[in-house]
Amino acid sequence: MQENTLEMLHQDGVLTFKLVKGGYCIDDNYLSIFAKCKNIDSDSYPDIAWFQIRHCSINGSLMVGSCFACEGGLLIDEAEFDEEELTLELTPTASAYFGFHPQFVNLKFTVTEIRGTTIVFKLEAEHDDTNYYDSRAKPCTSRGVFVLNTISSKELW
């Protein structure tokens, strides 16, 4: 697969997207990654596809083969609140956006190459149907390869 390209394998056909913005951040031993892509066919829906994982625990440095997977969606909170401890516990969370927030998304980012501070990630995703919301809806699979640079946590989606 070509770098900085995403393919959405929809039941109505394959949609191709190009990366327009993305990056990764390691902050306090937590990794976050995001990729914002635009559909190359301006007449197709969805016109955008954003994927993000946040708060994946990381011990040490990223290495080729390092894999970060989590699930999320509209109904999953980004953090759990421990009322007894009165602390905010960060939990790994996956998010996506296609002009709407899907109810479920499973994401896996795998490090395939390291080029200094630039990392090549392979994305594998399963998410809600982007065209149908009734009995015709079927889960979609998306996959991509992204060359991402380090960014600050403030630049994350």
Compare 92 and 39 and report the one with higher pLDDT.
Answer: 39
For the chain, the average pLDDT equals: 89
Query: pLDDT class for 154, splitting at 50, 70, 90?
Result: confident
Query: pLDDT class for 155, splitting at 50, 70, 90?
Result: confident
Tell me what pLDDT residue 88 has: 46
CB atoms inside a 10 Å sphere around CB 88 = 11
Instruction: Give me the numbers of helices (H) and strands (E) for the chain, helices first please.
Output: 0, 11
pTM of the model: 0.88
Instruction: For residue 31, give both structure tokens.
Output: 């990794």
Residue 139 has pLDDT above 60, yes or no: yes
Give the start-end residues of each E strand in 12-97. 13-27, 30-39, 48-57, 67-72, 79-82, 87-90, 93-97
CA nearest neighbour of 139 among 103, 100, 86, 95: 103
Residue 87 has pLDDT above 50, yes or no: no
pLDDT tens sequence across 93-115: 899 999 998 989 999 999 999 99
pLDDT tens sequence across 4-49: 999 999 999 999 999 999 999 999 899 999 999 999 999 999 999 9
CB atoms inside a 10 Å sphere around CB 103 = 13
Tell me what pLDDT residue 131 has: 87
